[in-house]
Chains A and B, each alone.
Chain A
Amino acid sequence: MKIQVKLFATLRLKLGVAGIEIEIDNPVTIMELLKLSSKKLKFDIIPELIEDGKIMVGTILLINGKNIFHAQKLETMITRECEVSVFPPAGGG
């Protein structure tokens, strides 16, 4: 199945990429998806989002617009085709 990974904010500016597609055969956790994304991007995005195994304050990870923080956090499973939005710590207005 195909997962659309969309990158935002400083990640988008740094990498010059708005998004990538990751193809998976079996369900993966969001953490695994971030690792697969890093591999494809040839850039480790995990330190930008996660510190000591925890989602950094301000980092937002969404599956179809729903924040994984209110599911199983980094262990949240991706079981079907979806859009994953990745925001490093951002800000307010």
Chain B
Amino acid sequence: MSYHGKILRINLETKEIKTEELSKDLARMYIGGRGMGTKIFYDEVDAKVDALSPENKLIFATGALTATTAPTGGRYMVVTKSPLTSSIASSNSGGFFGHKLKSTGYDVLIFEKKAKKACYLYLDEEKAELRDATHLWGKDGHETTDILMEEVGEKTAKVACIGPAGENLSLISGIMNDKNRAAGRSGVGAVMGSKMLKAIVVSGRKKTLIDDKEAFKTAVKQRVKILKENGITGQGLPALGTKVLDNILNSIGAYPTRNFQKSQFEFVDEVSGEALVEKGYLVKNVACYACPIACGRLIELPQGKKGEGPEYEAGWSFGALCEVHDLNTITQANFLCNELGLDSISAGVTIATAMELYDRGYIKKEELEKGPELKFGNAEAILYYIKKMGQNQGIGKKLALGSYRLAESYGHPEYSMTVKKMEIPAYDPRGIQGHGLGYATNNRGGCHVRCYMISPEVLGAPEKLDPQELKDKPEWVKTLQDLTAVIDSSGLCLFTSFALGAPDYTELLNKATGFNYSVEEIMLTGERIWNLERQFNLKAGLTAADDTLPKRLLEDPIPAGPNKGHVHRLGELLPHYYEIRGWSKDGIPTNEKLKELSLL
């Protein structure tokens, strides 16, 4: 069975650390990672809790396939209540930290309360210790990692930590691991900061036990072959990384530009994934643990600065959305976010919001305290205000709260491109209707990785759907949302789903856990997780009114390009989505549905 069966509970206030048993039933019902973390959180924490108070808890959960040889099986999930959205937060990350975390012999960590002074957790197979981190407070994520690696003196140890943004309680701060990998979204860094927990260092060699070793080996081999032979996971992603999407989305006219005022960027060729290679910035591909895809980019800029990224989303948020076309600056912006511990999607969208507020005269020049003008296209402003944001200085204090609160503070929340107060990623829903429904109904707000409708609507995997067609889209959205909950709970990367489907995940899980799920049961498990998140959000005070998109996307037609004249037709999609979800007209799961999912 691919669980160690152990939970580590850490009370940061009393410093009491205890080991608890992980129930087999819980594992079977929720798989691991996102599912298991959410169930534990739901049962233990009042949904009305102030996300930055000691009563909020912070959970790190590994998946059923984390630290196995399953392709991409190295991920972990952070589950907590989001200070940005007030909804459930679950933020997922790759790299090598998740693998090492599970190799300590624990499946889940639960942090409670708040430390009296800055601390970090050291965890290996023999010991779990809370250690002083006052010397690390104020340091960026890279410095913190270097110091901790030296301090613990174990080459194979891995570090997850927050940067200054998390310490300063920026609502768009993330948790960084392996320096450049991020559990970036939902403001989970601020929750960690509010607990005065600077870092977690894990070191261990405990093997994950597999239920049927030989059958698992065969199942893994077959799936690695499928991933390598698939055009997307075997060729496109390795060659160009996620930034291959710049030209695709721009060509179809769904590449949000100038804070979603336009949907095509005239300088795309200067900032695209192709440009990143052609300009010679790409040194080599970087793979996470057990990943045959290797979409990560190790980059060296002409001035000698090295780092990872930008990924498609960050390249876009600091690029087209701010109308900046200097790839060097965009790449540096991504590096800075990694160091400061900022969510690079939310940071870019927030700066674009600030640029629109400045453009419209709501942010005055005096407020910039002699900083660069917040004009669209001003590359210098990007780096300057990211630093201000991360360090919580000047207007950076407002920016650090994210796009919605920034726009609202000037009386104009309509210029914030957010769902449930979280910044929307790099796909204009007016050009991709199903994807827009996915944004609007997402349990954690404006996010693309809980239901990646780009795959069928743009890329054509597993089949090509017309992005402007509404028929069957609610069904597709529901299926992808449920399937993604399974993938996230397994500890695998969503990118595997370009080539793999529910039967593949079911087989991998069965051979590893011995649970013998049917494909139907696996999909029902995904649906259970989705509905449990929904239940948390409803208890937290969110309503159907939050399942929406910014007014601009619902009312202002795209002004030019292939999607000229289109708005997002959410009103035509949402009622049917609720219906097939088994929810009331007000978006509340019916008792019948909850019983079917064993949630009542």
Instruction: Determine the residue in chain B with the shortest Cβ distance to A10.
Output: B239
Interface-located stretch among B22-30, B242-250, B438-446, B547-555: B242-250
**Segment 220-242 of B: residues with Cβ below 8 Å from A:** 230-233, 235-237, 239-242
A93 lies within 8 A of B313 (CB): yes
B561 lies within 8 A of A65 (CB): yes
**Segment 270-317 of B: residues with Cβ below 8 Å from A:** 273-274, 277-278, 295, 311-313
Partner of B239, one of A13, A56, A59: A13
Alpha-carbon separation in the docked complex, A8 to B253 (Å): 16
Instruction: Name the B residues within 8 Å of A58 (CB-CB).
Output: 230-232, 236, 459-461, 498
Q: Is B466's beta carbon under 8 Å from chain A?
A: yes
B232 lies within 8 A of A89 (CB): yes
Instruction: Determine the residue in chain A with the shortest Cβ distance to B561.
Output: A65
Instruction: Name the B residues within 8 Å of A66 (CB-CB).
Output: 252, 562
Q: Is A35's beta carbon under 8 Å from chain B?
A: no
Min CB distance A68 to B, Å, is: 10
With A10-B240, A65-B252 as contacts: A91 and B232 at CB distance below 8 Å: yes
Min CB distance B307 to A, Å, is: 18
Partner of B247, one of A56, A87, A89, A93: A87
Instruction: Determine the residue in chain B with the shortest Cβ distance to A9.
Output: B244
Alpha-carbon separation in the docked complex, A91 to B273 (Å): 11
Min CB distance B288 to A, Å, is: 15
Alpha-carbon separation in the docked complex, A56 to B229 (Å): 12
Instruction: Name the B residues within 8 Å of A79 (CB-CB).
Output: none
Q: Is A57's beta carbon under 8 Å from chain B?
A: yes
Q: Is A29's beta carbon under 8 Å from chain B?
A: no
**Segment 5-22 of A: residues with Cβ below 8 Å from B:** 6, 8-10, 12-13, 18
Interface size on B, residues (CB 8 A): 45
Alpha-carbon separation in the docked complex, A89 to B495 (Å): 14
A88 lies within 8 A of B277 (CB): no
Min CB distance A35 to B, Å, is: 21
Q: Is A38's beta carbon under 8 Å from chain B?
A: no
Interface-located stretch among B101-109, B144-152, B450-458: B450-458
- Choose among A9, A59, A66 the residue with the greatest number of B CB atoms under 10 Å from its CB: A9
Instruction: Determine the residue in chain B with the shortest Cβ distance to A65.
Output: B562
Instruction: Determine the residue in chain A with the shortest Cβ distance to B249.
Output: A93
Partner of A12, one of B235, B252, B253, B274: B274
Q: Is A42's beta carbon under 8 Å from chain B?
A: no
Instruction: Determine the residue in chain A with the shortest Cβ distance to B316.
Output: A93
Min CB distance B219 to A, Å, is: 22
Instruction: Name the A residues within 8 Å of B233 (CB-CB).
Output: 91
B235 lies within 8 A of A10 (CB): yes
Instruction: Name the A residues within 8 Å of B464 (CB-CB).
Output: 55, 67, 69-70
Chain B residues touching A, majority SS:
helix
Instruction: Name the A residues within 8 Å of B394 (CB-CB).
Output: none
B269 lies within 8 A of A18 (CB): yes
Q: Is A62's beta carbon under 8 Å from chain B?
A: yes
Instruction: Determine the residue in chain B with the shortest Cβ distance to A14.
Output: B239
Min CB distance A87 to B, Å, is: 6
Q: Is A31's beta carbon under 8 Å from chain B?
A: no
Q: Is B479's beta carbon under 8 Å from chain A?
A: no
B230 lies within 8 A of A57 (CB): yes
Q: Is A77's beta carbon under 8 Å from chain B?
A: no
Q: Is B426's beta carbon under 8 Å from chain A?
A: yes
Instruction: Name the A residues within 8 Å of B460 (CB-CB).
Output: 55, 57-60, 69
Alpha-carbon separation in the docked complex, A93 to B317 (Å): 13
Instruction: Name the A residues within 8 Å of B563 (CB-CB).
Output: 65
Q: Is B328's beta carbon under 8 Å from chain A?
A: no
With A9-B274, A65-B562, A67-B464 as contacts: A92 and B454 at CB distance below 8 Å: yes
With A12-B274, A13-B239, A93-B426 as contacts: A57 and B461 at CB distance below 8 Å: yes
Q: Is A41's beta carbon under 8 Å from chain B?
A: no
Instruction: Determine the residue in chain A with the shortest Cβ distance to B247.
Output: A8
Instruction: Determine the residue in chain B with the shortest Cβ distance to A83.
Output: B251
Min CB distance B587 to A, Å, is: 28
Instruction: Name the A residues within 8 Å of B269 (CB-CB).
Output: 18
With A8-B274, A58-B461, A65-B562 as contacts: A88 and B251 at CB distance below 8 Å: no
Alpha-carbon separation in the docked complex, A66 to B561 (Å): 10
B235 lies within 8 A of A89 (CB): yes
B236 lies within 8 A of A9 (CB): yes
Partner of A85, one of B251, B455, B461: B251
Alpha-carbon separation in the docked complex, A79 to B231 (Å): 30
- Choose among B233, B239, B242, B269 the residue with the greatest number of A CB atoms under 10 Å from its CB: B239
Q: Is B462's beta carbon under 8 Å from chain A?
A: yes
Instruction: Name the B residues within 8 Å of A55 (CB-CB).
Output: 460, 464
How does the 8 Å CB contact mask read for B405-446 relative to A, with 1 for contact and 0 for none? 000000000000000000000100000000000000000000
Q: Is A64's beta carbon under 8 Å from chain B?
A: yes
Min CB distance B26 to A, Å, is: 31
B245 lies within 8 A of A92 (CB): yes
Instruction: Name the A residues within 8 Å of B245 (CB-CB).
Output: 90-93
B251 lies within 8 A of A62 (CB): yes
Partner of B252, one of A10, A67, A88, A91: A67
With A10-B236, A91-B244, A91-B295 as contacts: A62 and B274 at CB distance below 8 Å: no
Alpha-carbon separation in the docked complex, A61 to B426 (Å): 21
How does the 8 Å CB contact mask read for B148-175 relative to A, with 1 for contact and 0 for none? 0000000000000000000000000000
Q: Which 4 A-B pairs have the closest CB atoms?
A: A89-B231, A65-B562, A93-B312, A93-B242
- Jot down 8 A-B pairs with beta carbons below 8 A, ordered by A: A8-B248, A56-B231, A57-B461, A59-B231, A62-B251, A65-B252, A66-B562, A91-B498
